[in-house]
Amino acid sequence: MTATFAAPTDLEEALALLAQDQAARPVAGGTDLVVAARQGRRPLPDSIVAIDRIAELGGHGVVDGALVLGALTPHDWLATSDEVRAGWTALADAAAIVGSPATRGTGTIGGNLMNASPAAETTAPLVVFGAEVTLRAAGGGSRTVPVGELATGPGRTIAAAGELLAEVRVPAAAAGSGSAYIRLEYRRAMEIAIVGAAALVTIANGVVGDVRIALTAVAPTVVRAPEAEVALRGRAPSAETFAAAGSAAASAGAASPIDDVRASAEYRRAMLQVVVARVLAVAAARAGGESIPVPASRWIDGREG
């Protein structure tokens, strides 16, 4: 097969190219693609459609109260934007610890989601915020999919051949809410989460009114932790209630960690309990108006802040 490369500057042109060659791979920053090829996990595709020059995919900002992100939005913008840090803090927490500074400047939100890694940092925050993605296809085809339903397994999504993730829309959290993302890590840069968790906590009249928790790297996809949410909802925020929620998350069926070269399933399950309790404590503190710096992972282990 003859290798091909195209670099369209128009979205419709890119969609037409993807429709013509369903084996073609859209590439933006290319950070995951190159790493996978170097590690021998996946060869470079024979056909590449570079989408990094398409202006329509590069916008980002707050529109009618929601955070609207073009697929090319880089992680470093998410990590440093005052609007994201204020209203969608968990997403800033996650983006701030993706890879290295170079990775954060090159890697994109669209690529992170479509790579469909169960350890992807930004997915869990987007899940707890109830974010949706827009998938576009040639000929005007378009559909909206919740982020929590996008991935079907490691490296797999529900996107059909020829579909391209164009936009991510993240609703605003309710008043009285705070959010956080924390991961367990061995080093400070170029790390992959061993276990991670995002939480969105809303506090009213001294008790937790609503809570959403999503778990990273403990199942084939990022998953919600409904048992942990039930354990906390309607209770006063405290170390004891956070620990109970952590225990519920670790013992629930949604978490199905595996043994691999980075950690055993037993260790992941034990650390999941700790990480969930910690992320809930930070999210609740932020909901109460406490200023906890981004990224929360570095603040809570004492290495920053």
What would the 3-class secondary structure string for 86-138 be? HHCHHHHHHHCCCCCHHHHHHCEHHHHHHCCCCCCCCHHHHHHCCCEEEEEEH
pLDDT for res 187: 60
Write phi, then psi, for 8 (nearest 5 degrees): -70, 155
Query: What is the distance between the alpha carbons of residues 75 and 124, in angstroms, rounded to a whole number?
Result: 15
pLDDT for res 45: 80
- Under 8 Å CB-to-CB from 264, ≥6 apart: which residues? none
Q: Which of 139, 141, 152, 111 is nearest to 29 (CA)?
A: 111
pLDDT for res 34: 65
pLDDT for res 65: 97
Q: Tell me the DSSP string of 160-182.
A: PTT-EEEEEEEPPPPTTEEEEEE
Query: What is the distance between the alpha carbons of residues 137 and 118, in angstroms, rounded to a whole number?
Result: 25
pLDDT for res 35: 65
Note the Cα 222 to chain centre separation in Å: 8
- Under 8 Å CB-to-CB from 164, ≥6 apart: which residues? 11, 14, 15, 18, 26, 51, 71, 135, 136, 137
Beta bridge partners of 178: 201
pLDDT for res 244: 96
pLDDT for res 44: 75
**Structural domains of the chain, with CATH:** 57-170 (3.30.465.10), 177-289 (3.30.390.50)
Pair 151, 157: CB distance under 8 Å: yes
Pair 37, 43: CB distance under 8 Å: yes
pLDDT for res 158: 97
pLDDT for res 2: 60
Q: pLDDT in tens for each of the 305 residues of the chain?
A: 567 899 999 999 999 999 999 889 999 877 777 666 666 666 778 899 999 999 999 999 999 999 999 999 999 999 999 999 999 999 999 999 998 888 899 999 999 999 999 999 999 999 999 999 999 999 999 999 999 999 999 999 999 999 999 999 999 999 999 999 999 876 665 567 889 999 999 999 999 999 999 999 999 999 999 999 999 999 999 999 999 999 999 987 778 887 887 788 899 999 999 999 999 999 999 999 999 999 999 887 654 43
pLDDT for res 39: 66
pLDDT for res 60: 97
Query: What is the distance between the alpha carbons of residues 80 and 157, in angstroms, rounded to a whole number?
Result: 28
Beta bridge partners of 284: none
- Tens digit of pLDDT for each residue in 235-256? 999 999 999 999 999 987 778 8
pLDDT for res 191: 66
pLDDT for res 303: 43
Pair 222, 151: CB distance under 8 Å: yes
Query: What is the distance between the alpha carbons of residues 30 and 52, in angstroms, rounded to a whole number?
Result: 10
pLDDT for res 304: 41
